[in-house]
Chains A and B, each alone.
Chain A
Amino acid sequence: MKYPKNGRFGEFGGKYIPETLVPAIEELEENYLKFKNDKKFKKELDYYLKVYAGRPTPLYYAKNLSEKIGGSKIYLKREDLLHGGAHKINNTLGQALLAKKMNKKRIIAETGAGQHGVATAMACAALGMKAEVYMGYRDTIRQKQNVFRMNMLGCEVHPVKSGSKTLKDAINEAIRDWITNVENTYYLLGSAVGPHPYPVMVRDFQSVIGNEIKSQMKKITNKTPDTVIACVGGGSNAIGTFYPLVDTNSEIIGVEAAGHGLKSKMHSATLSAGSKGVLHGMMTYLLQDKEGQVTETHSISAGLDYPGVGPEHSYYKDTKRVKYHSATDAEVIDAFLMLTRTEGIIPALESSHAIAEAMKVAKKGKKSESIVVTLSGRGDKDIEEVQNYLKRHDKN
């Protein structure tokens, strides 16, 4: 779906927002539509993506990993090599540049693992703007490093102590800030969620991932990949990977966080186990109880710890264009260690969900088949979390 009419992907998406935000959302859509095809804007963004962020990112054939598994060839789309260490910078550069064109002086953002917060702080520093970031209190503890990074980049971090103290609550608080300071503030949302036009705008800025995969695979294999895989929390790296390939024959798989298992209630697998609902301005699949109260989630990776999902993913689930699977914390740790040891690449725990799925798919595949996995970020931020996990489980 190129540009969703009325902001809807099938029945999903829309704008369920407090009235105060309506003029801001209208202004945003108007400016986004104006600048997205503006030659000067595109040139400026391309410049920053290339010489600041480090695009295009390589497509790496993971020979050791593929041979060890003994099935299809696994290629890694190396978004982990971008400035800041994750795909998030693709979107923050795009939106920060847009905010600048809109003459917005104050930028706010939410963050889960801290990657979007860091990428926002970097883009704003580069473009000479000031950012404030909302982060769940629980996440500020498990991703301490990223809080320090944001502080050093000149960005104020507000720990959010309401609700589950994670990404969902950081978004609530950022929206409350936006309602309060609507006249001078730009809300730089980091995932393909929220009210229209955020899901489509974030997708468009992230589509550089899928577009590069397409042309890189054409050079290597002269065709599109047989399978593409990406992890899904809110779903921004996944939608950027998938969208340019939905009209091809590639099999597409999104991987959610199964945490302690889908039956445990300790997971974040919205599409695998959720039902339709309205949260954060959009209609989409949600993890909620029988009464429509949003439930708390769990994932070993803070970046996937979210009870909703981008509306376009909900649409691809219902139309069956994309398969949504999940990986448990244990599978994720195995995949994390496997990639680290075979290839010398330390993946983010978020991306390790996609690696876990790729290992399953590759095992069943033929050598002539290719799988592209988007390695959305690097795992340096997760070392402590992994260490703790290993300690806990050695004791048991």
Chain B
Amino acid sequence: MTRIREKFAELDSKKEKALIAYIMAGFPNEKSTLSSIRGLVKGGVDIIELGFPFSDPLADGPVIQNASTISLEKGTKIAKFFALVKKIRNETDNPLILMTYTNILYHKGYAKFITEAKKAGIDGFILPDMSIEESKEYLQAAKNKADTIFLISPNTSKTRIQKISKVSSGFLYLVAVFGTTGVKTGIKKYTLDAIKQVKKQTDGKIPVGIGFGVSTPEDVKKYIKAGADAVIVGSAYLKLIEKTPQNKIESKIASFTKSLKKETIL
């Protein structure tokens, strides 16, 4: 069992759902990233998603776009990122997921990138522009090394949900809304329906996480109630990091995390 699935099994036995937190590596600098991680762990996060910046993040809204730009300007590079992952790995056993765009892996070579990422401590990948049709080489490279977490949208057909869940491992990432990351639209009925539909189609074989626009304890509560196995909070964390002075990041992140985590305990 992978570290991600072990985490879900452990939570299951404790009657808890998973809180997944996304932060952008190197935003606004490496020190803040490490403080954020410590805050997340202290606050009881279950899984950590680390963003690696890409020049053209076309699935992301303004908050993550801005964080990508700043991280790149601060000189975030792949080797430095893997070194950071190693440091994080020394501090926590929580599963670590890398979220970036296809070209970053393709350019280095899928196999080479995934092998190095695994060595540093990465357990899975999320690539929002990787469709299952183009995923053959990526899947081969990740086999027995890392989980491949694909995305599902509220407009994904039943047959396609089945296809996507076949090549996904770790969990399925259900996009809550039509839109980019971090856009607040309120909780829509079509999202709640989508959670039910994906749960039905996958029949408990793989956990279902929900993300995009999930930002408050109330959001978490409602999505968990609707049947999600995990909630993913991203832009809200970046906004908090942006407005918090360096020496307060750890404590602020910890208390925000606690407030979210509370709602995942059944």
Contacts and interface: CB of A to CB of B under 8 A. Distances in A.
A279 B107 contact: no
B153 A22 contact: yes
B202 interface: no
Interface in A283-306: 283, 286, 288, 291-295
B108 A22 contact: no
Interface size class of chain A, counting residues whose CB lies under 8 Å from the partner chain: 35 or more
A278 B131 CA distance: 12
A38 interface: no
B236 to A, nearest CB: 19
B155 A278 contact: no
A19 B160 CA distance: 10
Contacts of B153: 18-20, 22
A128 interface: no
A248 interface: no
Nearest to B156: A19
A280 interface: yes
Size bracket, chain B contacts: 35 or more
Contact of A281 (B108, B129, B178): B129
A181 interface: yes
B134 A19 contact: no
Interface string B85-103: 0000000000000000111
B107 A288 contact: yes
Interface string B33-55: 00000000000000000000011
B179 A180 contact: yes
Interface in B49-71: 54-59, 61, 65, 69
Interface stretch (A171-179, A239-247, A330-338, A348-356): A171-179
A300 B233 CA distance: 43
Given A19-B151, A180-B179, A291-B77, A14 B103 contact: no
Contact of B150 (A19, A176, A276, A294): A19
B133 interface: yes
A15 B153 CA distance: 16
B206 interface: no
A16 B131 contact: yes
A292 B101 CA distance: 10
A267 interface: no
B104 A291 contact: yes
Contacts of A295: 55
Contacts of B152: 19
B178 A181 contact: yes
A258 to B, nearest CB: 22
Contact of B133 (A14, A162, A276, A278): A14
A27 to B, nearest CB: 10
B139 to A, nearest CB: 14
Contacts of B131: 15-17, 19, 22
B77 A163 contact: no
Nearest to B79: A291
B107 A18 contact: no
B150 A277 contact: no
Nearest to B174: A19
A337 to B, nearest CB: 36
Contacts of A162: 65, 69
B105 to A, nearest CB: 8
A182 interface: yes
B106 A175 contact: no
Contacts of B156: 19, 22-23
Contacts of B175: 18-20
Contacts of A15: 131, 133-134
B155 to A, nearest CB: 5
Contact of A293 (B54, B65, B128): B54
A52 B150 CA distance: 46
Contact of A179 (B77, B150, B157, B178): B178
B264 to A, nearest CB: 25
Contact of B128 (A18, A163, A286): A18
Contacts of A14: 133-134
B171 to A, nearest CB: 15
A23 B58 contact: no
Interface string A153-178: 00000000011000011001001100
B178 A183 contact: yes
Given A16-B130, A182-B155, A277 B106 contact: yes
B180 interface: yes
A37 interface: no
Given A16-B131, A175-B58, A180 B103 contact: no
B180 A292 contact: no
Contact of A172 (B58, B107, B133): B58
Contacts of A182: 155, 178
B78 interface: yes
A311 to B, nearest CB: 12
9 contacts: A20-B155, A163-B55, A172-B58, A175-B58, A179-B178, A180-B180, A278-B129, A288-B103, A292-B54
What 3 A-B pairs come out closest when comparing CB atoms?
A292-B107, A20-B153, A180-B179
